Structure 1
Amino acid sequence: MIVITLTKVPRSLRGDLTKWCQEIQTGVYVGNVSARIRDQLWDRIMRDVGNGQATMVFNAQNEFGYQIRTTRIDYEVVDFDGIPLVKRLNRVEGPVKHGFSNAAKWRKAKKFTQKRVLSDNTISFISLDVETTGLDVSKDQIISIGAVKKSADGVKEKFYEFIKSDKKIPENITKLTGITNSILENEGVELSEALLKLKEFVEDTPIVGYNLSFDDKFISMAFRNLNESDLSNKLIDLMPVVKKKNKFLDDYRLGTVLEKYEIENLKPHESLSDADATMKLAEKLIKNGDLEI
């Protein structure tokens, strides 16, 4: 048996879950599926959760008889001698600066993405994308970071780093991204070095992304694991902007959206190529009056 709780997720995800589970209360789903279907459901949740939150509890052979997965970044599931425990994380160190928490960042992102006013084209902003070994922020790792910065005068700079990993990259990830263990070993840098370079690159410039909560969760977790301060940039997710403007797309994967806006992405699932395509998407949304940075 599995129990899934959802908060502030897209309706499409709720609809997908009702194919396998029964909604016994708003946002609470119960089902009895195989381990394979359970893992596929979690992959779908991680892909489509957007700015919302999700937690899954399922049967497992441990002392408690169950295991926990969650997308929440204020909690961490830890294994204590085979017992799953939920640890509440205190991410605030020193004086609280208003507007720099993740909740505040997403409120600001929602506020700005819902405005349908043509933005000043002289605004500088950055598009960001990461590739990872999987979808679980508590277990998987960042293996590449790509970003494109557009300056106020229209000049673009690019940032691209492979990240060394102490784990073998799953075959499906290599097939999807083209990234191999050999590439990471020969061309990769340590995560701490990549994050430092990323901070220097983004400075205080606004950041856009597609399904940006996914990238932000992995980057935030990486900074936390290194005991470093997180990025405090303004974050703007393009996915809700696109969904509001285009209500009848077959799906809202980046590839589908780029095709809708006639944007070519030569290397899908390469972080730099995805970041470049996302930059072009943001520029089109600005031009159409659907986005303000």
Structure 2
Amino acid sequence: MIVITLTKVPPALRGDLTKWCQEIQTGVYVGRLSGRIRDYLWERIIDGIGRGEATMVYSAKNELGYEFRTTRHDYRVTDYDGIPLITHLKTVSGAVQPGFSKAAKFRRARVMAARQQNKQTSMAEKAVVTLDLETTGLDATKDEIIEIGAIKRTATNELIEFERLIKVDCSIPRTITALTGITAKQLRDQGVALQVALDQLHEFVADCPIVGYNLRFDEMFLRQAVRKTSLTDFSNRMLDVKPVVQQVELFLDNYRLETVLKSRNIENQHPHRALSDAQATWQLATQLIKNGDFRI
């Protein structure tokens, strides 16, 4: 059994908790969760608490039968021979470090180790490309690529853009034009042949690792496109950011790119345009690397 109390926290955090616990009174949540989910939930509370306060009480195998964690600055949690005790402070000190369970400590240690490792092998030390495609539909065997966008970060930290519209023989569905803003006239006037675009993309990415969001979708279309044009397949190392986000962000309503970007305050100026999506994915990957969650 877990009981959580919240005061003066952002509404988004309260919404997150209702997915896991029942709000039996304003700011009071009750639920039954595994130890791993409980620790993740507490970390989510810490990340989203803003200037508010939170306290968590949960069942434990000790003499009291429970343990607790709190973010309140006027209290201090002390572990006395396995029994958690609360000390009321006369003067408010710095923020209380949440959690004293072994699981929480081990996870913090893993995160710190990962961050240290990523400092030694950072994104800035190697060239890498972030890629995105826009297509006429979701079926790689029937639909066509209409736009390719990519961002390359060189080993010297320079950012280079790649953007191509693709001429296609098929009509553009109205839903795709409404979503992307790409029209058949744009493709006729500004587009290049698929083979030309793929040749140029090959030259642009060279042997760099390719990063994308839901990259499996783009891989399928690229694979089908090179078969259609009899070109050499892309043998680059492919790194998908989406599975990483799904492990890190447990409380999102969905894992569409726009939802993830919004949760991390990343602006995408032109959603569903390949270059803009590639730029936003780049910023997302950079955040994950800095947090020790993703590695090139």
TM-score range, shorter chain: 0.5 to 0.7
What is aligned with 1:131? 134
Identity fraction in percent: 50
Unpaired runs of 5+ in structure 1?
Answer: 1-114
What is aligned with 1:166? 169
Opposite residue 239 of structure 2, the aligned amino acid is I
Equivalent residue of 1:274, what SS?
helix
The whole-number CA distance in structure 2 between the counterparts of 1:237 and 1:179 is 26
What is aligned with 2:235? 232
Q: Does 2:254 match 1:251?
A: yes
Q: Deviations over 1:16-71 (max 9, x none)?
A: xxxxxxxxxxxxxxxxxxxxxxxxxxxxxxxxxxxxxxxxxxxxxxxxxxxxxxxx
What is aligned with 1:265? 268
Opposite residue 257 of structure 1, the aligned amino acid is V
Q: Deviations over 1:261-280 (max 9, x none)?
A: 11100000000000000011
Q: Deviations over 1:154-213 (max 9, x none)?
A: 110000000001011000000000000000000000000000000000000000000000
How many matched pairs?
179
What is aligned with 2:186? 183
Opposite residue 181 of structure 1, the aligned amino acid is A
Opposite residue 295 of structure 2, the aligned amino acid is E
The whole-number CA distance in structure 2 between the counterparts of 1:276 and 1:217 is 21
Deviation at 1:252, TM superposition (A): 0.1
Deviation at 1:226, TM superposition (A): 1.3
Deviation at 1:153, TM superposition (A): 1.7
What is aligned with 1:286? 289
Match of 2:205 among 168, 184, 202: 202
What is aligned with 1:156? 159
- RMSD value over aligned CA atoms? 1.1
Opposite residue 243 of structure 2, the aligned amino acid is P
Deviation at 1:123, TM superposition (A): 2.2
Opposite residue 212 of structure 1, the aligned amino acid is L
The whole-number CA distance in structure 1 between the counterparts of 2:152 and 2:165 is 18
Unpaired runs of 5+ in structure 2?
Answer: 1-113
The whole-number CA distance in structure 2 between the counterparts of 1:289 and 1:152 is 20
The whole-number CA distance in structure 1 between the counterparts of 2:266 and 2:197 is 28
Which one scores higher on RCO, CA 8 angstroms, separation ≥ 6? Answer: 1
Deviant stretches of 4+, over 6 Å = none
What is aligned with 1:38? none
Q: Answer with 1 or 2: which has the greater Rg.
A: 2
TM-score (norm 1): 0.60
Q: Deviations over 1:68-120 (max 9, x none)?
A: xxxxxxxxxxxxxxxxxxxxxxxxxxxxxxxxxxxxxxxxxxxxxxx875242
The whole-number CA distance in structure 1 between the counterparts of 2:143 and 2:288 is 32
Q: Deviations over 1:204-248 (max 9, x none)?
A: 000000000000100110001112221000000000000011111
The whole-number CA distance in structure 2 between the counterparts of 1:167 and 1:226 is 16
